[in-house]
Each structure stands twice: as C-alpha cells, then as structure tokens.
Amino acid sequence: MGKVHVLMRKEDIDTEKIQGKIAVVFDVLLATSTIVAGLYYGAKEIIPVLHGKEALKEAENRVPDSFILVGEYEGITLEGFLNPNPLALKRHIQKKTVILSTTNGTVAIHKAAPAKRIYAASLLNGKAVARALRANHADDTIILVCAGSSGEFSMEDFYGAGYVLDCLLCEQNVEWEMTDAAFTAREFYRGAGECTENILLSSRVGQMLQRFKMEEDIYFIAQRGIFDMVPYLNERKALVKGGEDCYVGYTSS
C-alpha cells in the first residue's frame, strides 16, 4: 500500500526524509503551471534554477537562439528575462530550452532534489499526474510539496494538491494510506467544489497577478485536467515531457 503526505511549504522539506520518496511539486501560480504549459506548447525542456545568476551561468556556452531565459523574483520580471507567463510564452518556446527561475516553484524543485523521483503538477495536468502515480508508484511514499509563497502557505497550491489526491483516490481498487495533511487537502478541494477560479483569484498570489494584469492567465491555469502530460526531472536535471508511463527507472539520488 502506498502512502501520501502533503507539505504546506517548500521550507518544510526535510532533505533526509525525502530520500527514496516520490516528490510532486505544486506552484500553481505560477511556476509549475508554466512548466506544464511550456512543455505542452513545444519547449524542448525546462531547466529549473534557483535564481537569476544561476540562470545566466546555465546559459553560458549554449548556442544562441537555442534557449530562452524566463524568470521573476517576488513577481517582478528579472532584467533581460521573459516573464513566466504561460500564455505569453507560447510564441517564444518552440523547440527551445527554457531556463526558468522563480521565487518559489523552481526553488521547491531544487529542495526536493534528494527524492527518488520529481514530478511537476498543476491543475492543468492533475488527472495525468494521478494516473502516473497509480501506474508507477502504488507501493511508494508520495510527498505532495506545496511550494508556498516566500515562506507562507499558499491556498492555491493546497487546492492543487487536493485535486490530485481526489483524482488519485477515485480508483477504488487501489488503496493509499493518507496522513492528516493529505486527508485535509482532499477535503478542502472537495469542499470548494467548482470554485476553482475563485480560489485562484482570491489567493494572495492571485491578487498580486491581477495587479499585474494577468487575469487571463489565472483563468487559463484554473482549467483542470486539460493536459495529458506529466513533466519529470531527468538525469540532466531538466524537466521533460512524460505521460502515464513516464517512469523509466531513473532516480535523482
């Protein structure tokens, strides 16, 4: 029987305890939604980095026009970078490597690095993530990591984790042992019902994005289960496109 736990913030990751576990990272507004959409819309790969300096170092010696720099810090686009806005990026990413730096999501992916496997999840691909977990990790311990926002709890990440849990538990013939945090995340999602857009718009990060005139992106991100694709971190520390059978034996440890 597999086990499922939810962490409320990336700061709650214990790098020793997460070893050998399956990590699913959520930064619904905005990083993991941008990762999912970016790969769906044709990016070759997405390399998550900790900050802008690391992004510039990663770009060194790469062929010009083979990559794009995308990044923000505390909601402000980094100088010389594109904003991690999933709809605006669509026209820039075809067959390119995206070097991505964000305040929370890419940092959460790095903190989860000792895990046996790392997936990126959002509302956009929640059903596909749940299917991949059922198919490949029914006997593993799965940690759903809510990135949070600058050390604070983020309602939209918790909602996203609850959505994936609800999809995961809809299969009656597969049993999962849930911690109280996982149970609560699912109940929160189920209690919110069809209020996805309101959850995202009313969250602190959602309100910030509205001040940046990104309402259209929020409505896009609020769509549940529209992409049948599961980004995972490969041996080159790049996020690439996978499906239900994307587990191919690689472990990051």
Residue 193 lies in a domain: yes
Question: Which CATH number belongs to the domain containing residue 63 in this structure?
Answer: 3.90.1560.10
Task: Indicate whether 20 pLDDT > 60.
Answer: yes
SS3 content of the chain, % helix, strand, coil (to 5): 35, 20, 45
pTM for the structure as a whole: 0.95
| Average pLDDT estimate for 184-190 | 97
Task: Indicate whether 86 pLDDT > 70.
Answer: yes
Residue 93 lies in a domain: yes
Task: Indicate whether 174 pLDDT > 90.
Answer: no
Count CB-CB contacts under 10 A for residue 56.
Answer: 17
Task: Indicate whether 253 pLDDT > 80.
Answer: no
Q: What is the pLDDT of residue 247?
A: 46
Residue 101 lies in a domain: yes
Count CB-CB contacts under 10 A for residue 98.
Answer: 26
Task: Indicate whether 244 pLDDT > 50.
Answer: yes
In the Cβ-directed half-sphere of 38, how many Cα atoms lie within 13 Å? 35
Strands ordered across the beta sheet of 45-49: 76-77, 67-73, 97-101, 45-49, 239-240, 232-233, 117-121, 22-26, 141-146, 2-7, 176-178
Q: Which of 94, 91, 47 is nearest to 71 (CA)?
A: 47
* CA-based torsion, 84, 157, 179, 246: positive or negative: negative
Residue 177 lies in a domain: yes
Residue 250 lies in a domain: no
Domain that holds residue 87: 2-242
Model pLDDT for residues 95-131, shown as the tens digit of each residue: 999 999 999 999 999 999 999 999 999 999 999 999 9
Domain count, the chain: 1
Task: Give SS3 for 49.
Answer: strand
Task: Indicate whether 5 pLDDT > 60.
Answer: yes
247 or 124, which is more confident? 124
Residue 251 lies in a domain: no
Model pLDDT for residues 212-223, shown as the tens digit of each residue: 999 999 999 999
Task: Indicate whether 252 pLDDT > 70.
Answer: no
Q: What is the pLDDT of residue 243?
A: 63
Residue 252 lies in a domain: no
Tell me which residue has tokens 């995206």: 98
Q: What is the pLDDT of residue 175?
A: 86
Q: How many helices (H) and strands (E) does the chain have?
A: 10, 11
| Average pLDDT estimate for 159-188 | 93
| Average pLDDT estimate for 13-35 | 98
d(CA 128, CA 230): 6
Residue 249 lies in a domain: no
Q: What is the pLDDT of residue 249?
A: 38
- Where residue 246 falls among pLDDT bands split at 50, 70, 90? low
